[in-house]
A and B are shown apart, each in its own frame.
Chain A
């Protein structure tokens, strides 16, 4: 079966997942603080995560094309489908962009004009960290990536119909791949600084972009493995054998080690030199996010390493599926750990800043303070003692005293709660719906690709 049929049951499952996601997001939004910090940080977290997978797919496709890699050819349509998800990523990140421009959310400390005025460091960075550059980079770069992904897809489909002896479409694909690789290499770094690193607006690390990219690429491989195993169980991709899964297993193994290498390089250098501006990043995470910090390293390094070090586990579907699920969740946690502390810090800063500046003039205060979570209300010790205010929607808003900032643990920040997982499932439903829909639009195995024979006869 080379033509994929998107079954009704699958559709309804994915739609169900999306509905669950929407419900969770609504619940998050309603039960959130005045800034809707939890809602927006979840939105950003999952948007970056899934857009990253799409980017990773396009990157790996392009790299394989230029390196004469052929083993993946029989299932390359899966990666093409992933790469097209960039259009959804563009819309999702477009929402964040709109939020930056319109001030709907307070994810980025640098997006707040008053804070930038009062902060020399933010002022120094404002040439790069400003709503305009954020908008142009996000829309521009993701737009260009999608354009290239879409071009490559069209050429690849054209090859199915009009493939010829001189492999003219393959040459065109290589042309676009050669354009994308350097462009994607440069622009992804800038995008990652903007989207993720600037959440901790004072902090900087030159390695950060490559570290994030490794995370995205390994997640992409793990998703590929799961989808292939699923599609095989449905009777598709019978040509995908143990040999191909073995190679995906090797990539998951290898990139997990590479990710750990980057993790170690970044952590060790900052730990060793102990320059305050840099160390604060890990100090926060080690002190306030300690379980997550070690969990991140444990499940993204030790599990793939120990399970996949053997050759036979790289060939067994069971162990591969297990590791893939771990890697998918693990790198989701990795992004969680990169995103949440910065966002929470921003919210604290802004709440603190606003209460001080605006003082008692309540009519001018809109959504400026952070409410503690429901759970923490039960804990009498943690109820902040600053004046409570009420805002338009009738929610109670409790602002923080700056001294008690770190004593409180708002839900969904120091560890993902049920709402985070629900939101992720919603995004996952969207991603899978989109990918399956794209899979219906072309043959699952491209018959005229020059590498298809090699890919079929692939032996490790």
Chain B
């Protein structure tokens, strides 16, 4: 199923990321409300211009990791001291050094799976998801700067169109996504 976001946007396509950065800068100085930017690769220095807050994914990763640490260490401690105490190789029931490897592995496993699942969930991506693509060339060599038309008046739309043109967009289109 094709997923739609029920938006109509106007977008300009740029040939180079530096042109796009300049355009975003200009849009900022004119206080234009940018809907989104689409690019074939991550652009260094774009995030602060778009006012994107730093991703908190790593904090999630830390918490998932901690959960893994506690699961592994707590689990082994409970099993070997309470549930089924057993002596292996003359070592104490609670053999901390022997628990470290599995504790480490589960920390990493929980952190990774947790973060990846979180990433796809918050981005609305995943197997079977089929988003409308603004312009298929943005995964090749074009950089798109898009504005939400919403209920903007025709004048405003023309203003955006001329802004895109002036800032160096090679093509300008309007599309429902």
Contact B90 A271 (CB under 8 A): no
Contacts of B97 in A (CB 8 A): 264, 267-268, 271-272
Contact A272 B90 (CB under 8 A): no
A297-355 CB contacts (< 8 Å) to partner B: 309
CA distance A264 to B103 in the complex (A): 14
CA distance A300 to B65 in the complex (A): 22
Closest to A274 in B: B90
B81-130 CB contacts (< 8 Å) to partner A: 89-91, 97-98, 100
CA distance A274 to B100 in the complex (A): 18
Rounded to whole Å, the gap between the CB of A314 and the closest CB of chain B is: 13
Instruction: Give a binary string over A250-275; 1 marks a CB under 8 Å from any B CB, 0 the rest.
Output: 00000000000000100110011010
Contacts of B98 in A (CB 8 A): 268, 272
Rounded to whole Å, the gap between the CB of A268 and the closest CB of chain B is: 5
Contacts of A268 in B (CB 8 A): 97-98, 100
CA distance A244 to B81 in the complex (A): 48
CA distance A268 to B89 in the complex (A): 14
CA distance A271 to B100 in the complex (A): 13
CA distance A272 to B89 in the complex (A): 8
Rounded to whole Å, the gap between the CB of A275 and the closest CB of chain B is: 13
Contacts of B62 in A (CB 8 A): 309
Contacts of B90 in A (CB 8 A): 274
Contacts of B91 in A (CB 8 A): 272
CA distance A267 to B97 in the complex (A): 9
Closest to A271 in B: B97
Interface of B (DSSP majority class) = helix
CA distance A309 to B107 in the complex (A): 15
Rounded to whole Å, the gap between the CB of A440 and the closest CB of chain B is: 39
CA distance A42 to B72 in the complex (A): 43
Contacts of A272 in B (CB 8 A): 89, 91, 97-98
Closest to B101 in A: A268
CA distance A268 to B97 in the complex (A): 6
Residues of A in contact with B, size category: under 10
Rounded to whole Å, the gap between the CB of A312 and the closest CB of chain B is: 10
Rounded to whole Å, the gap between the CB of B73 and the closest CB of chain A is: 15
Rounded to whole Å, the gap between the CB of B44 and the closest CB of chain A is: 8
CA distance A274 to B88 in the complex (A): 13
Contacts of A309 in B (CB 8 A): 62
CA distance A271 to B96 in the complex (A): 11
Instruction: Give a binary string over A354-389; 1 marks a CB under 8 Å from any B CB, 0 the rest.
Output: 000000000000000000000000000000000000
CA distance A268 to B91 in the complex (A): 12
Closest to B91 in A: A272
CA distance A274 to B91 in the complex (A): 10
Rounded to whole Å, the gap between the CB of A310 and the closest CB of chain B is: 9
Rounded to whole Å, the gap between the CB of A313 and the closest CB of chain B is: 13
Closest to A261 in B: B104
Rounded to whole Å, the gap between the CB of A272 and the closest CB of chain B is: 7
CA distance A274 to B97 in the complex (A): 13
Contacts of B100 in A (CB 8 A): 264, 268
CA distance A267 to B100 in the complex (A): 12
Rounded to whole Å, the gap between the CB of B88 and the closest CB of chain A is: 10
Rounded to whole Å, the gap between the CB of A170 and the closest CB of chain B is: 28
Closest to B54 in A: A311
CA distance A267 to B98 in the complex (A): 11
Rounded to whole Å, the gap between the CB of B134 and the closest CB of chain A is: 30
CA distance A271 to B99 in the complex (A): 13
Contacts of A271 in B (CB 8 A): 97
Closest to B58 in A: A311
CA distance A267 to B95 in the complex (A): 13
B127-157 CB contacts (< 8 Å) to partner A: none
Contacts of A267 in B (CB 8 A): 97
Contacts of A264 in B (CB 8 A): 97, 100
CA distance A208 to B76 in the complex (A): 30
Rounded to whole Å, the gap between the CB of A412 and the closest CB of chain B is: 30
Rounded to whole Å, the gap between the CB of B170 and the closest CB of chain A is: 30
CA distance A38 to B47 in the complex (A): 59
Rounded to whole Å, the gap between the CB of A81 and the closest CB of chain B is: 34
CA distance A309 to B61 in the complex (A): 12
CA distance A272 to B98 in the complex (A): 8
CA distance A271 to B97 in the complex (A): 8
Rounded to whole Å, the gap between the CB of A267 and the closest CB of chain B is: 7
Rounded to whole Å, the gap between the CB of B100 and the closest CB of chain A is: 6
Rounded to whole Å, the gap between the CB of A279 and the closest CB of chain B is: 12
Rounded to whole Å, the gap between the CB of B80 and the closest CB of chain A is: 15
CA distance A365 to B89 in the complex (A): 48
Rounded to whole Å, the gap between the CB of A315 and the closest CB of chain B is: 13
Chosen A-B contacts, 12 in total, with CB atoms closer than 8 Å, are: A264-B97, A264-B100, A267-B97, A268-B97, A268-B98, A268-B100, A271-B97, A272-B89, A272-B91, A272-B97, A274-B90, A309-B62
Please name 10 further chain A to chain B contacts, defined as beta carbons within 8 Å, in addition to the given A264-B97, A272-B91, sorted by A numbering.
Answer: A264-B100, A267-B97, A268-B98, A268-B100, A271-B97, A272-B89, A272-B97, A272-B98, A274-B90, A309-B62
Nearest first, the 3 A-B pairs at minimum CB distance are: A268-B97, A271-B97, A264-B100
